[in-house]
Structure 1
């Protein structure tokens, strides 16, 4: 039977439950245990797919096409495990499942209630997602005391009662604030948070105390006394220089050993081998080079919208001991200030997005990189912007655009498949009254990479799989025209229907892809496209430095 670790949070949100849980999972994995993770989110949306990036941050996509919470990205970056839609469950999903069963008559006319029907569905989802593993870590979103989280907390209370303390452990993350005026750490918020948790029947086994400074032994003893948690299980979780230090920090405090002993896993668990994490931390702390990458996006004021992207860029640098500084630029700012907004960077990345706001800034950015020989990496909307730029300014297709932004443009080089793939072979036009149409292309899909291209050299293989999240595609009606103008299509879908990647020959590094490779990047392995991109940034920086020295 899978052992379960339930991770809750108290005092305030955004304490880093996901990273703390993922760090513990990474240590347990390093001890030879089969580990998985899941997130229970209390919002009523069925999934985050339709939520604004400004509110929710990044929508993380799994292999099976699930649109999930960004914490699943942390889980996959810390663990060598591929997650699925089973690993991300919301209140909306739970209620949708229960109501569907009620409509189908599964409850035989009985009154459907939060207890037992909603809590039973929550338990079913937990058992389904964690089945077949030695340990499953289950993070409950939100903060203890929130009314939205109560059904989840009741469900995990029931599991602990049913399975016993050797099968299920409660780990509670709280804040121990440093009050500068008093010059001391305050434990009262933690005490009250645990009191709130105990009032609903949950006694935490482990406390992870987030603070700016290490927790003194005296404060640990005080917390242990008031919360009924063993002193050794009161873990100090200080702010670290980078999140990949956290597995090492928690292991030093023997958090993994406490869990192994509580769950009676001594016979299965080998000594922890954290050498890979030590190598990652060493690469972060001892770089030999530094580059600046401009990220020209639409949501840069809320950088959680690009969480996986920011991490993937850093991973690309880790493989070369290069610190990657990110220069965040609103694409609307590029529209306003022009090319000068892009001066002085070593490489440019244009990420995904939706809608026409700021799109012309992305097109201008692609043109700047293309004409100035600056390394360019376009992802999703960034590829479409690069194609629009090339169509307008190289292929001579005046007015080229995406039908997402201009449904009646003269050259729709980007559009919905339903717009350009019709029975008559004509480009179908939609009127203003029609809905968004199309179907989102989601999840892992294989693509064939063209030998002899830079993309193929980076991947080192003919067929690769990448995760997608988009509706609009490269319009095949313009494929030959743009290829004749010099654009190289370096990867296509396995059925040859869809353009997956483009690049420019003769340019130092200009690659754009329709997929989201950032979702498959990890700190221990990196991703070949991001590694190649950062290498190109280093070469561009070195070339600029040599040019300045020659002029001097």
Structure 2
């Protein structure tokens, strides 16, 4: 039976609950325990799959096809534990499940209420896989006091009451603001946050206090006194140069020891932190730097491409170089020349996206990279734009485009080199989709196998011809153009096992030009960089030496 750690936040959002949860999970692993991390989000969307990246950042996809919060990406990158559908739930999903049961008559005619029906649904979710791990870490989205979060807070209160004493603890993150005018750290916001938490029946066992200034012992003692926690369980959390320093920083601050003390686990196993010491060394000790342009359409919000930026950093660690990322808005040169915006970069990455906005700029970025021999990595839509560029400018298919853009415009304008994916094989059955289907959860989602061509660049990079990668798309390059494009030098070097769906393309006569239909960034970790990103950065390093 697992022990449970419930992580909540107060005062303001974006304090770093996800990062603290992930770092704590890594520290518990370093002490020999098995962990699983979960996210409970109070928003009413069933999942973030239909939410704009400007609203919610990137959507993190699991192997089993769940569209989840980006915090699950943190969890995977820090612990290496592959997330599952059962590791993410929202109020929308909870209420949807409850209403489906009510419609079926599962409640036998009872009046359906938040307590007990909604809270029971949340508790049922929390305890999935209870016997699989030593520790279950459950992060509650939002902040204490948010009206939409109350059912989750009530559910974890009930859950802790129903479990044997000492099996559940609560960790609360707060802000200690610094007032420059008075030169003081103010503890009152933390006190009020804990007071709000206690008013709904939750007493924190561990307090993590975010601060830009060193927290004096006197202030820690004051927080402990007024918040009713042990002084050694008041953990300072300072700003770091890299998020990957968090496990070592939290260990030095005593977070993992405070958690084990709260569970009365004594003597605690000693941690093995060599992996994280190596990660920190690779971040802080580099042999140079490269400049990479990410040409996208959501560049105003870096969280929209969170996993891509992190995977590039991992690639830098693998090569012991610093990767400087510049966000280039594809719309800037939709109708102009890309060269003034892309010259000087050692590599170009075009990420995924939806809709026609900015796509002409992405096509020009692919053309620039092809013609100038700049390393190029196209992901999902980035691969499709590279194929359209090749079709237009090399294969001379003048009106090459995507059915997605015609569908959006409501009229036919392009020869659809990229088409709406209506059927594919998933496991032992065939999935079918129509353009009129609901948007949520109807894409080709999750992990699928691909077969790589012998002797191809990608087979060399992966070191194998059989791979499995995560997908999130509803449009696909049409295989009927394969022969025509390969005659021009664009190789279809990765295909689905049945040979129907193109997974990877690459240019034969280019130092490093690869487009992939899947999202390799989702499986990259600081201690295990994804091979595509590691080799992409290596190619960029070689380019930098030629400049």
Flag whether TM exceeds 0.5 (same fold).
Answer: yes
Is the CA contact 1:87–1:129 (under 8 Å) kept in the aligned structure 2?
no
Deviates more, 1:122-131 or 1:200-209: 122-131
Q: Is 1:537–2:536 an aligned residue pair? A: no
Identify the residue that residue 511 of structure 2 maps to in structure 1.
508
Counting only pairs closer than 5 Å after superposition, residues 491-530 of structure 1 correspond to structure 2 as 491-530=494-533
Gaps of 5+ in 1: 422-429, 545-552
Structure 2 Cα separation of the partners of residues 511 and 28 of structure 1: 38
Is the CA contact 2:403–2:414 (under 8 Å) kept in the aligned structure 1?
no
Identify the residue that residue 425 of structure 1 maps to in structure 2.
none
Deviation at 1:258, TM superposition (A): 1.9
Identify the residue that residue 364 of structure 1 maps to in structure 2.
364
Deviation at 1:182, TM superposition (A): 1.4
Identify the residue that residue 136 of structure 2 maps to in structure 1.
136
Q: Is 1:348–2:348 an aligned residue pair? A: yes
Alpha-carbon displacement from aligned partner over 1:99-123 (angstroms, at most 9, x marks no partner): 1111111111111111111111100
Structure 2 Cα separation of the partners of residues 420 and 311 of structure 1: 31
Deviation at 1:215, TM superposition (A): 1.2
Identify the residue that residue 442 of structure 1 maps to in structure 2.
445
Is the CA contact 1:59–1:70 (under 8 Å) kept in the aligned structure 2?
yes
Structure 2 Cα separation of the partners of residues 435 and 71 of structure 1: 28
Counting only pairs closer than 5 Å after superposition, residues 169-188 of structure 1 correspond to structure 2 as 169-188=169-188
Identify the residue that residue 152 of structure 1 maps to in structure 2.
152
TM-score of the two chains, using structure 2 as the length reference: 0.95
Identify the residue that residue 241 of structure 2 maps to in structure 1.
241
Q: Helix, strand or coil: the match of 2:128? A: helix
Structure 2 Cα separation of the partners of residues 459 and 134 of structure 1: 33
Structure 1 Cα separation of the partners of residues 222 and 459 of structure 2: 59
Q: Helix, strand or coil: the match of 2:398? A: coil
Deviates more, 1:434-443 or 1:5-14: 434-443
Q: Is 1:122–2:122 an aligned residue pair? A: yes
Deviation at 1:418, TM superposition (A): 3.8
Q: Is 1:482–2:481 an aligned residue pair? A: no
Is the CA contact 1:38–1:139 (under 8 Å) kept in the aligned structure 2?
yes
> Cα–Cα, structure 1 residues 264 and 221, in superposed 2: closer, same or farther, change >3 Å?
closer
Deviates more, 1:332-341 or 1:104-113: 332-341
Q: Helix, strand or coil: the match of 1:282? A: helix
Structure 1 Cα separation of the partners of residues 65 and 421 of structure 2: 19
Is the CA contact 1:417–1:475 (under 8 Å) kept in the aligned structure 2?
no
Identify the residue that residue 271 of structure 2 maps to in structure 1.
272
Q: Helix, strand or coil: the match of 1:201? A: coil
Deviation at 1:214, TM superposition (A): 2.2
Structure 1 Cα separation of the partners of residues 161 and 379 of structure 2: 48
Q: Is 1:71–2:71 an aligned residue pair? A: yes
Deviation at 1:384, TM superposition (A): 0.4
Structure 1 Cα separation of the partners of residues 445 and 364 of structure 2: 28
- Runs (4+) of structure 1 moved beyond 3 Å? 264-267, 417-421, 433-439
Deviation at 1:255, TM superposition (A): 1.5
Structure 2 Cα separation of the partners of residues 165 and 245 of structure 1: 34
The count of residues paired between Structure 1 and Structure 2 equals 533
Q: Is 1:106–2:103 an aligned residue pair? A: no
Identify the residue that residue 195 of structure 2 maps to in structure 1.
195
Identify the residue that residue 311 of structure 2 maps to in structure 1.
312
Counting only pairs closer than 5 Å after superposition, residues 408-487 of structure 1 correspond to structure 2 as 408-418=412-422, 439-487=442-490
Deviation at 1:409, TM superposition (A): 3.8
Deviates more, 1:408-417 or 1:433-442: 433-442
Deviation at 1:389, TM superposition (A): 0.4
Deviates more, 1:113-122 or 1:403-412: 403-412
Is the CA contact 2:402–2:416 (under 8 Å) kept in the aligned structure 1?
yes
Identify the residue that residue 50 of structure 1 maps to in structure 2.
50
Gaps of 5+ in 2: 426-433
